[in-house]
Amino acid sequence: MKVYLIVILAVVPLISGAPPSLTRRSSVTTQTLVEQYGYPFEEHSVQTSDGYILGLHRIPYSGRVESDEPRPVAFLMHGLLCSSSDWVLSGPDYGLAFVLADAGYDVWMGNARGNTYSREHATYNPFFKKFWAFDWHEIGMYDLPAMMDYVLYYTDEEQLTYFGHSQGTTTFLVLNSLNLRFNTKIKSAHLLAPVAFMENMEGPLVDMAALLLGQPNFLPEIFGDMEFLPNTKAMEMLGYSACCDKSPFQSLCANVIFLITGFDYENLNYTLLPEITATTPAGSSINQIYHFLQEYNSGFFRQFDYGFARNSLAYGSTKPPKYPIEKIDLPIFLYYSDNDYLSSVVDVHKLMRTLKDTTLRRAYRVGHPKWNHLDHLWGMNIRELLHDAIMEDLESMKDS
C-alpha cells in the first residue's frame, strides 16, 4: 500500500500539467531526428473541425532510393502519451518511418491533440480545462479525419496505407466503425499492439487505478479535463541524466517502462533511453486514461461512460454505445505479442473474432516470448521480428 501511495503522490501533481510557459518542444524533435540522418523533413499544420491545430510531419522521400515512380502514401499514428518521434527515434535501420521511406513510400506522421506538436486551438489555450475536454474518441472522430483528408488532398492521392501503434489502433477502430467513408480511403491498415478490448490488461497498478479512476464517480468528475504528463525541459534533463549509459539509474529507467509495458531486457536498446525520455511522455488529456481504464473494467469496446444520468443525455441510453467494429470493411493486418501488458493475446483474439472474416487479412504473432508493447517501436530485433512481416503484408496488397 505504501508503494501505491508513493506512486499516487508522485503522479497527481503531473496530472494537472504544466503551464504553457514550462511546456515546450524538446531539443530532440521529430525534425532533428529525421534531418540528422539526411532525410528531408516537412512540417504541416491541420485544423480540426472543432478547432484543434495539429502538427503533421512528413518524410516525402528517401535519399537512399532513386525512383521516378509515384510514391504511395503511408500515414503513421502514434500511441498514448507519444508523438511522431516514436517512428524515427531508433534511426534509419529500425524506425518504421525510415523503413517505409526507403521502401518508396511518401511518409506522413500524425500528432494527436494535446501532445508536444499539437498544443494549439483556434479559441482555447492549454491553460484552460476546456482545451483538455477530450479523450481518444475525439482523436478518432476529429483528428484522424482532418489529418488524413489533408494528406490525400495535398498529395492528390485517392488512398493511403495506415499504420497505428497502441492508441493509434484504438482511434483507427473508432473512426472506421463510425465514419464509413474512410473505408474506401484506406487501402490497408496495419495495427501494431492493437488496443480495443482491454479486460485482460496486466500491470502492478492496473487494478488499483481501474478501481479509482475507471468508473463514473467523483474522481473523474473532479480531475477530468486536465493535462497528463506533458513534455517539459525538466523531464528531458532528468531523463538524460538518469537514463544515459553512464548513469547508475539506467536500469531503473528501463524498469519503469517495463512495469507498464512488459519486461523485455533482451530487446531494449539502452543507449536509446535518453532520447525516449526526452520525447516521451509527450502529453495527453487525463480523460484518455480514464477511458482506457473503463474498457478494462467493462470488458467492452465502447464510448465514454459518464454515468447513468449523463449517458442518457449524451447517448439516449443509460450505458454508452459499443463501437460497431464489425462494420469496418477494409483490409486489416494485426501484429501482437505474448508479453504485452496493454494488448494481451486474449484481448487481441477477441478483436480478431469481432472483425469481419473478409476484413482481417492476417494476425501476426511476433515470434519472441518477451516482445512487449513498446518493442513494436524500438525493439532491438525489430527488422527480422516485425518489419519483415509488415513488408510481406504490404507486398501482398500491391495487386489489390
Q: Which of 280, 248, 363 is nearest to 87 (CA)?
A: 280
Q: Which of 57, 51, 9 is nearest to 31 (CA)?
A: 57
Q: Determine how β-strand 52-59 pairs with β-strand 120-121.
A: antiparallel
| DSSP H stretches of helix in 36-157 | 96-102, 136-138, 144-155
Reading the block at residue 158, the C-alpha cell is 485517392
Alpha-carbon distance of 375 to 272, in angstroms, equals: 12
**What is the DSSP annotation of 291-351?**
HHHHHHHH-S-BS----HHHHHHHHSSSSPPBP-GGG--S-EEEEE-TT-SSS-HHHHHHH
Per the listing, cell 500491391 goes with 398
Alpha-carbon distance of 349 to 362, in angstroms, equals: 12
Q: Which CATH superfamily is domain 2-396 in?
A: Alpha/Beta hydrolase fold, catalytic domain (3.40.50.1820)
What is the set of active-site residues? 166, 373
In the structure, how many helices (H) and strands (E) does the chain have?
Answer: 17, 11
- Is-contact 123 52, C-beta < 8 A? no
Please give the chain's pLDDT, 400 residues, in tens.
Answer: 323 322 332 333 333 343 333 343 457 899 999 999 999 999 999 999 999 999 999 999 998 887 777 899 999 999 999 999 999 999 999 999 999 999 999 999 999 999 999 999 999 999 999 999 999 999 999 999 999 999 999 999 999 999 999 999 999 999 999 999 999 999 999 999 999 999 999 987 787 788 778 888 766 777 789 999 887 776 777 777 788 887 887 888 888 888 888 899 899 999 999 899 889 999 999 999 999 999 999 999 999 999 999 999 999 999 999 999 999 999 999 999 999 999 999 999 999 999 999 999 999 999 999 999 999 999 999 999 999 999 999 999 987 7
- Is-contact 332 361, C-beta < 8 A? yes
CA angle in degrees (0–180, nearest 5) for 360-149-71: 75
Alpha-carbon distance of 149 to 151, in angstroms, equals: 6
Domain spans in the chain, listed from the N-terminal domain onward: 2-396
